[in-house]
Amino acid sequence: MTFRRSRSATPDAGLVSAGRDSYEAVLVEVPDLETIRAVADLAATNLKDANGNILRGYTMLSQAFGRLLHGDTAPPENATFLTFAAWATETIRPQVVGAVGPKGFRPGDLFRPASRLYTWAADGLLGSDDTIARNLVRGEAAIYEEIAMAVRMMLQCVLEGIDESSRRGSVDWQALWAKYSLRLKEMQTTLNAQRDASEAVEPSDVSVLQRATEPYFSVLSERMSRWDLDHIQRKQRAELILLGNIRMLAYEQKRIQPVLRRNLAYVPDAIRARVGSRVTGRNTLLSRTVGQAYDRSKTTIAILDEVFQIAATRNVYSMIVGTEEIRLGRDLPVPPPANPVLRDRQAPLDQQRYRKGAFFPYDLQTLTHRPTWAEWQLYDRSTSEGARTAVDNWLRYGERLSFLVNLFRSRQQVTSLYDTPRSTPSATPPRPAALGPALEHLSDVTKERLANSFRGSS
């Protein structure tokens, strides 16, 4: 995917007058509906490839969708949910491809002793067990199927609409929305035909998904998908995209909750299974005594389970977003362009978008769009910029969402989010020669990451 200004775009032209030509490549590059649906089957047989396809799918969709929402200019100003989803998929990739586990001493381990201990214990206990990875990939595949299809269908509907409008001279956005809504309804039928009841998509899910995609659609219908917006319109667009991101996030996190529950329970359950089979599984006096003691200590066991969840969240879990590795158990730091120490090394665009020391970019310092403010108030539990965003237990939906919405709002305009995640298989642009214009806007750190990415894939 390359970023270039449309030749046909004029300063007052929007998506409509830009015509279909400048976007014709979009649908060719993003995965089609069949490819998206095939990932679910692949997740049952080949975890590594399924994760790779999801990562590639999110990355390509993110690039295409970003381009659509920002008017075919480089690089898109706001990250969408798909952009963050690509980084989340990148984060879990090492676990899926089996890259975790003891590999000898690394200097970084000195700073993360608890994480090192956990990795050592989990590896020793579970050995080659890939249950957690399987859970993760199957869960993410099911959600990818729903979200990627919803976005792909919006791309298709809008581009078809532009094609028709080039003959009529204007776009009937209401009709486009109705057509898109109908396709969402059909998606429910298509998906449920191949899923069992426990993973079925309910009408209420489709309704939530439709509501989540609506702000993105509003960016298009209100002619804000242009590169020549004034600062007020830029702020409006940023807020609408944030609203879409938060709603998508809430949908995704609700759907993924059972997967998280299974995974966080897996290590304690595995310990219990080992202890159960070795200690209490025999008909000896000692086994019976231990078994009776266990029966009487259900409360203690429940506390220990939760202690494990808290320990894992606080000491082990982290997330890769752009150039940062963010710990989930700590308050969110200010984004790199706002960090006085890192600021000078960031892309000039980022430095323009963030004030030194500020947690949110200029466009999102305040939220003036009422629905965005309402959605933000629903999930934010911080007491000031980034304070009290640390999560105690990743299983708790409310705490998790508070952390994530703050992450989304604070990093929405960081350029490096549109970088290709390092481990994306075949994610280098299809036309490498055309990468030049995009690179001009990237920081040295980002360029270095991309260079590493090319070296890795060659």
Partner 1 sequence: MTDTLLSDDMLGSLADRADVPADEVIAALLTELGEDGQAPDPTQRSAAYRHLLGEIWRDDENALAVVSDFLTGGEELDESIDTNQVRHAQEFFEEHGVAIITTLFFASLPEAYLGRRGVQVLDMTGELVSNWTQRIRETGQFLINVLTPSPELARTERTSLAHGESAARAVRRVRLTHSAVRRLGKAPYQPEHGRLFVADFVHPPSLWDVRMARIGEETHEGVTSEPLNQEDLLATLGTFTTVTFEALEKLGVSFDDDDKRAFYHLWNVVGWHLGIGDATTLADSATGKKDSWPDNKIFPLEVQEMDELFNRLRRRLQGPTEQGRRLAATLVQDMSYPLPGPIQGGPAFVIRYLIGDHHADELEIEAGGYAELLIRRTRALERLARRTRTSLLGQLTLLAMGQALTRYALRAFQSPARGKEPGITIEPRIASRWGIQTPPEVDQLLRS
Q: Which residues bind partner 1 (CB under 8 A)?
A: 174, 177-178, 181, 184-185, 203-204, 206-207, 210-211, 214, 217-218, 221, 299, 302-303, 306-307, 310, 314, 370, 373-374, 377-384, 387-388, 392-393, 396-399
Of 393 and 443, which CB lies nearer to partner 1 in the complex structure? 393
Of 354 and 376, which CB lies nearer to partner 1 in the complex structure? 376
- 134: three-class secondary structure by DSSP: helix
Please count the other Cβ atoms lying within 10 Å of the Cβ belonging to residue 259: 18
Give the position of tokens 């939220």. Answer: 367
Give the position of tokens 């014709």. Answer: 24
Of 198 and 204, which CB lies nearer to partner 1 in the complex structure? 204
| CB of 191 vs partner 1, minimal distance in Å | 15
Q: How crowded is the C-beta side of 325, counted as CA atoms within 13 Å?
A: 8
Of 185 and 278, which CB lies nearer to partner 1 in the complex structure? 185
Q: What is the C-alpha separation between 267 and 263, in angstroms, rounded?
A: 8
| CB of 268 vs partner 1, minimal distance in Å | 15
Of 171 and 417, which CB lies nearer to partner 1 in the complex structure? 171
Q: Which helix (H) or strand (E) holds 325?
A: strand 324-327
Helices (H), 74-130: 81-96, 113-126
| CB of 334 vs partner 1, minimal distance in Å | 17
| CB of 221 vs partner 1, minimal distance in Å | 8
Of 381 and 431, which CB lies nearer to partner 1 in the complex structure? 381
Can you spell out the DSSP letters for 363-413? Answer: GGSS--SHHHHHHHHHH---SSSSTT---S-TT-HHHHHHHHHHHHHHHTT
| CB of 310 vs partner 1, minimal distance in Å | 6
Q: What is the C-alpha separation between 405 and 376, in angstroms, rounded?
A: 7
Q: What is the C-alpha separation between 447 and 332, in angstroms, rounded?
A: 25
Of 232 and 302, which CB lies nearer to partner 1 in the complex structure? 302
Can you spell out the DSSP letters for 14-53? Answer: -HHHHTTGGGHHHHHHS--HHHHHHHHHHHHH-HHHHHHH
| CB of 327 vs partner 1, minimal distance in Å | 15
| CB of 121 vs partner 1, minimal distance in Å | 19
Of 16 and 96, which CB lies nearer to partner 1 in the complex structure? 16
Q: How crowded is the C-beta side of 188, counted as CA atoms within 13 Å?
A: 15
| CB of 219 vs partner 1, minimal distance in Å | 12
